Amino acid sequence: MTHPDPAIEAQIQNLKQPISQQPDGPGKRIGKRGEIVVIGHVLPGGGDLFRQRIGRFQEEAGYWESRIGTVHHFTVHMFDDDTRIMISAIYDGDFLVYLDDVIQQAGPWFDSLMPGVWEGYGSASDPETAKLIHDQAHTADAFYAAYPDYSAKDIARMEKVFTAVNTILDTAS
Amino acid sequence: MPDTLSGPDVALELDDIQGTVLRGRPNPYFGAYLIFEVEDPTQSLILLERLLPHLTSAADWQAPAENAWINVVFSHEGLRRLGLDPDILAAFPLEVQQGMAARSEFLGDVGRSAPSEWVMPHALKGFHIALHVMAGSPELREAKLAVGHAALSDLPGLKLIYRLDVGMPPTKREHFGFVDGLTRPFIVGQGGEPLPGQTVSPPGEFVLGYHNAKGEISAGAGPSEFWRNGTYVSLRMIYQDVALFRRFLRDNSDDEYAQELLAAQMMGRWRSGCPMHHSPDRDQPELAKDPLKNNDFLYYDSDPQGRITPLGSHIRRANPRDGLKDSISDVDLHVLLRRGSAYGPVLPEGQLEDDGVDRGLVLAVINAFPARQFEFVQSQWINNGDFIAQGDRTDPIIGRRDRADDFLVYQPHRHRVCGLAEFTTLRGGEHLFLPGLSGLRWLLDHLRQRQPETAPLKQD
């Protein structure tokens, strides 16, 4: 299938992003950017527990995600009448190699939400947790990433440089 | 013996752990790797039975009675050929099952370092069992090799398919001219006290059956009798293009001092081993020889931006110390116990043209979890720069060069060194299982009982 306008089709092909599978786990990859979506079952009563905890979980998101430092985007959804939970993330780099580190760094944050909610989740430090995440992950059928060759750390540095340059220019003028 | 050893203060069972796990290289050292293909599983068991009494443990590792040892390792394919149960084989770590050749894209072993170019066989090319001999003299090495030959000869079950001799060059340095082997972790339970700057690691990071950095007992495949006191060895044969390295230093420097400075910036230590952290402007060999100082430094407070020890330098990539404190990486999960030994003759001092002779380094990394230890360091820290906000930039000495070839330094002023070349090429590699001595005994007894069910030589 091609676009009826050849000029637009040429742009489509020119802007097509190279997509690959994560080399060490589920999810697609464009440049440095990877995606993961995990869909699990919710335990009976888990919906109520989830709603009790989610406010504080949201408050702490900036702190814990800054410690991880490689996540561009992260969401948690409770859906299907409190029977299913979905966790999604867009992040930098490979999947499996950093899973241990993520669990070590942000384990307390996940443990403040998931026990008693997500079926199969005991605590972040359980050996079965990495397997649970891996087994319940779904690879995207389509994926787009803006500026895929720049990591979250690169963007943070560019922000600092941008601010500094603007300061210099504003001062000079 | 208990099935598992619990409690963080438990002493290592040194007489059951194969010696190479703890024993450092003799000085000078003379060694060899002998790689065998299993042609007849039944005969192979007989030969291994003969070998077992001669294997060296880690007992008295700090003051061994004999300045030589012989150890044995197995590839996953080798264990399959010997007839190990399919369910035990399937429980090995995935990277060990797949073998290092299958992991080449992930590890960055591409181009001339791709498995298709390797000269050392990997598991699917016959690397099934290997003997590792290390000794303090050529005579002791040959004596140990004779023991190995005597045990493994006269029956056709095992075929010697590759031999690689290693030995300390007369310069007492590796081929690029650096003193190496200065950094090693202190393993809780090894005895003694850590030296200043040593990473202190629980024993389960390097030996199965002990507590590890995640607070769990490190377990292997199958029953604990098989894997207790064993470990995995990630073996790499690395060619070093010494002439190219020398020309690069010459072409990017105005004088001899600048060449030494550039070499130091690439490594993170001056060639004597003196850390740049303690001496940014000049080499101090006497400092390098002082074990109380040569490893006693951190980065987070005194050098966060790499103005003294460049962020992307080799030692800072292989061992970030506290430099990643604010990042996702938990460095305690990625500690390496590294054994390096040189192979091939030296390139004469001052020679800038290659002589066509194979020379380099055999790197043996001892790790209970190859995926989060050797493979993590190689793929995330050596062959990638994102962890230090350096994009695709790689290790200036051993990194891949197909994505980026520059390197940021701050001396004598901030600038980028460009055109880093491919100074090293991988000539072969494999993930191997190094059993404990009782584990090897269990394996041989178990395989003998399974003899009628032994797997066919050809894999389906």
* Residue at B376 is within a domain: yes
* Averaged pLDDT, B244-273: 97
Alpha-carbon span B59 to B45, nearest angstrom: 26
* Averaged pLDDT, B5-14: 68
* Residue at B192 is within a domain: no
Question: Which residues of B are less than 8 Å from A152 in CB distance?
Answer: none
Cis peptide before B412 (omega within 30 of 0): yes
- Pairing state between β B200-201 and B186-187: parallel
pLDDT at B459: 43
User: Measured between alpha carbons, how far is residue A143 from residues A154, B106, B344 in Å?
Assistant: 21, 21, 49
pLDDT at B367: 98
pLDDT tens for residues B265-279?
A: 999 999 999 999 999
Domain count, chain B: 1
Contact of A131 with chain B, judged by CB distance below 8 Å, is answered with no
- Burial class of B105 by CB neighbour count within 10 A (0 to 12, 13 to 18, 19+): exposed
* Residue at B277 is within a domain: yes
pLDDT at B361: 97
Alpha-carbon span B284 to B299, nearest angstrom: 20
pLDDT band at B452 (very low <50, low <70, confident <90, very high): low
Taking an 8 Å cut-off on Cβ atoms, the answer to whether A104 and B386 are in contact is no
Question: Which residues of B are less than 8 Å from A102 in CB distance?
Answer: 328
* Residue at B399 is within a domain: yes
* Residue at B455 is within a domain: no
pLDDT top residue among B62 and B401:
B401
pLDDT band at B1 (very low <50, low <70, confident <90, very high): very low
* Structure tokens that stand for B404 in this block: 């980026």
- C-alpha angle A112/B387/B420, rounded to 5°? 170
Alpha-carbon span B313 to B382, nearest angstrom: 9
Taking an 8 Å cut-off on Cβ atoms, the answer to whether A69 and B328 are in contact is yes
pLDDT above 80 (res A87)? yes
pLDDT at B9: 57
Q: Hey, how many other C-beta atoms are within 10 angstroms of the C-beta on A81?
A: 8
Q: What whole-number percentage of chain B has pLDDT above 90?
A: 77
Q: Which domain holds residue B336?
A: 239-428
Q: Which residues contact B339 (CB under 8 A, 6 or more apart)?
A: B20, B25, B363, B364, B365, B366
pLDDT at B149: 77
Alpha-carbon span B84 to B455, nearest angstrom: 8
Question: Which residues of B are less than 8 Å from A24 in CB distance?
Answer: 106
Contact of A159 with chain B, judged by CB distance below 8 Å, is answered with no
Q: What whole-number percentage of chain B has pLDDT above 70?
A: 95
ipTM of the complex, rounded to two decimals: 0.78
Mean pLDDT is lowest, of B62-71, B96-105, B400-409, for B62-71
Half-sphere exposure of A107 (CA within 13 A, CB side): 16
Contact of A100 with chain B, judged by CB distance below 8 Å, is answered with yes
pLDDT at B8: 52
User: Measured between alpha carbons, how far is residue B350 from residues B117, B244, B246 in Å?
Assistant: 29, 12, 8
Taking an 8 Å cut-off on Cβ atoms, the answer to whether B333 and A97 are in contact is no
Q: Count Cβ neighbours within 10 Å for each residue of B162-182 and write b for 16 or more, e otherwise.
A: bebbbbbbeeebbbbbbbbbb
Query: In the 8-state DSSP scheme, what is residue B321?
Result: T
Taking an 8 Å cut-off on Cβ atoms, the answer to whether A68 and B386 are in contact is no
* Residue at B245 is within a domain: yes
pLDDT top residue among B79 and B157:
B79
Using a CB–CB cut-off of 8 Å, the residues of B that contact A are: 105-106, 214-216, 326-330, 333, 371-372, 375-376, 379-380, 384, 386, 389, 391
How much is the pTM?
0.90
* Averaged pLDDT, B66-95: 95
Taking an 8 Å cut-off on Cβ atoms, the answer to whether A70 and B391 are in contact is no
Which residue of B lies nearest to A153 if distances are taken between CA atoms?
B389
* Residue at B294 is within a domain: yes
Q: Please give the mean pLDDT across all residues of chain B.
A: 92
Alpha-carbon span B325 to B418, nearest angstrom: 29
Mean pLDDT is lowest, of A150-154, B40-44, B305-309, B395-399, for A150-154
